[in-house]
Structure 1
Amino acid sequence: MHSISQLSRWAAGLLLALASTLAPAHEGHEHGGMAGKAAAKPQLATTAAFDKAGKLWVTWAEGQHVVVASSDDLGKTLSKPQRINPQPEPIYTDGENRPKVIASPDGALYVSWSRPLDAPYTGYVRFSRSLDGGRTWSAPIIVHHDRQPITHRFDSIAVDGAGRIFVTWIDKRDLLRAQAAKQPYDGAAVYYTVSTDRGATFAPERKVIDQTCECCRIALAPDANGHMLALWRNVFAGQIRDHALATLPVDNTPFAITRATFSEWRVDACPHHGPALAVTADGVRHMAWFSVQQDKPGLFYSRLSADGRPIGGAWAFAGSAQAGAQASHPTLLATDGALWLVWKQFADDHMQILLRKSTDGGAHWTAPVSLASTDGGSDHPQLLARDGHIYLSWRTQAEGYRLIDVTSAVPANATLEAAL
């Protein structure tokens, strides 16, 4: 473990500035176990999805229950929250941990979350499904076969066009093996599993790669060919914490892992900032992430071609260029020939969500537009698409849950900025 004092001064400042967003301050660069503890107040960590019929589904944690609510009026009102896990259990809702809901093209709904165990930094990845439009939910299961009381957490979940469910997570079983063999081992590993029967069963998990960052979310996105892609913060030689990308096969096909970013950020700690990933119809992989270059923290965007070649360089689109502003947690959405990019930015004692848009495959982007702001704690932003409209899903302490139509937020004559 590495304490905050081991981070550089800029990183400590960023963590303190954003501490009110989700979780209380902590000593380690990972968050500890919470077994047996109920949340003292409603959690901000929220995920939303539109189902096949266009209904909005929103999930979060209330005490020791994952709950889900629906909306037929684009988030103006939510139904009474329904408990997914009938029996109470601790639920991770700090940092980049959160319950997640996704909708399958075949109409099914799936929810995943990470459950803390008694020891710090440990957990199991949990899953439940609804095959009847959210009326009933299955008893939660653990998706991985390994049951050691170790790290299985920071789960991500996605479904491809064929309805196959992919669940990824951060796993430390290989760290234990290395320690037992007195071998060096940095970070953790990325594991995943696949269900081809609508979540009735999950295949034995596979390891993607060793030595990854311990508490950054894993981004998942399908490509136009039906393959599921994963992007994560890796630990390259010399404690370089850049990103790597791979296709997640349904079978035992060998992995082809590509280094995706080249910031050369050397830090022996986890920044709690996972990447964003979107894939356009031409197969280009679009990425946004937090990093540090020349001692300046900021948010960066770059592209990889369908065969994994960098297209241009990295573009610093937010953060260090604005004095006093601290940018974090970007998210990307590709739909209808456009790319949408939003992120959080803290300045002048309030948090706001900013937006940029590209209509030429990421070559040029509009100037930032402010979508919403708050003076208190807030969750990370999420983008959703429905019927040709783009929505910001965001939860704050002061305003509660909001779904904001941002389709027309960018003026038609907006100034464009070239990405490198």
Structure 2
Amino acid sequence: MSEHEKIKFEDGLVESGDETALSRLFERAEAGEELTVGFLGGSITQGSVASDDTLCYAYRVYDWFVKTFPKSHFTYVNAGIGATDSEYAAARVAEDLLSVKPDFVLMEFAVNEGPTDHYTETYEGTLRQILTSKPDIAVVLMCNVFYDEGRNAERIHRLVARHYDIPVLSMRTTIYEAILSGDLDKSMITSDDLHPNDYGHGLVARVITTYLESVSDKCTAKAAETEKTDGNAGRREIPAPLTANRYEKSVKYDKRNSDAVIRGIQGFTPDDTPREAVRDCFRYGYSATQTGSFIEYEVNGACIAVQFKRTVNLPAPVAHVTVDGDESAATMLDANFDQTWGDFLALTDIYISDKPSVHTVRIEITESHPDDKGDFYLAGILVSG
């Protein structure tokens, strides 16, 4: 028996959820409708470490749809961006995914955030935007895992999923469990205890498609009994929020939409480089190299975060940010990144309150060096609530 045959793929479903919308999706696919399947997440969803984009788990799941429902035409949308969490997703999901009106969405951020109240709220805010985008949208949530110790944010993601009656699939109860039991050698699927290789992506995809096949089989049995799902059955009722829900309304201000909120700018140069793909995250920002350069915003919100590039091109400038001129609560933004895997899109919360109000945000370069190899790149500010 091979290693993958020892994995209990059927154990991946850890929250059953309401399958009505998914069943309706499969009926539409069987009828030959044109449908869009979308994926939202971090580096694993993006396809990190996979040797080809078509070998990542997301594309393999899309390929399952194509082969299972040959009469239908499917559009594939991969909105994965490495090293990002559901807080950023709340500010980008409308543009990166919902703009194409997906019929199916799989979301995963379990290894990109901790099991905290903050991420419970940001995850819920992102999910609510997806659920309210179309009345019959089919959603599945998925939890990847650190394969060395089984760590992830599955607990809080399942908490949110139960509140909205959404299915959840887990790599901890399937692939990681096989590693713990000695039925699977960890080195076969990952070299860094997190990102799956081609074989690992195949296993992740199989956890997902095993579940999809089980729902599809139920639909086939129902069709044989001439019982079709009610056309309105997939239209779920959205319950009241589980959290304070400040991230359901979230916007990222970058070069394209900041004119109305920028109150002053000196030494920061706008980036007009076209964005060719979702993963092109260092686009439409502002860059600066000299001490004293600043950019100042006036925004209305309850929660504010700054997004900037931490670069491996060292040294690089350092900035600090103040809200409403409060120097005692100033936050340092260090563009120097001492890791080796590439530039990092950092997100730093600078203000969180219960209610929205108008605030002034000033970002100023406080340290630069004659031998700087990198710049300070401000990707934008995120305002929620």
TM range (shorter): under 0.3
Say which structure is richer in strand. Answer: 1
What TM-score results when the alignment is normalised by the length of structure 2?
A: 0.27
Say which structure is richer in helix. Answer: 2
Q: Which has the higher contact order (CA 8 A, sep 6+)?
A: 2
What TM-score results when the alignment is normalised by the length of structure 1?
A: 0.25
| Structure with larger Rg | 2
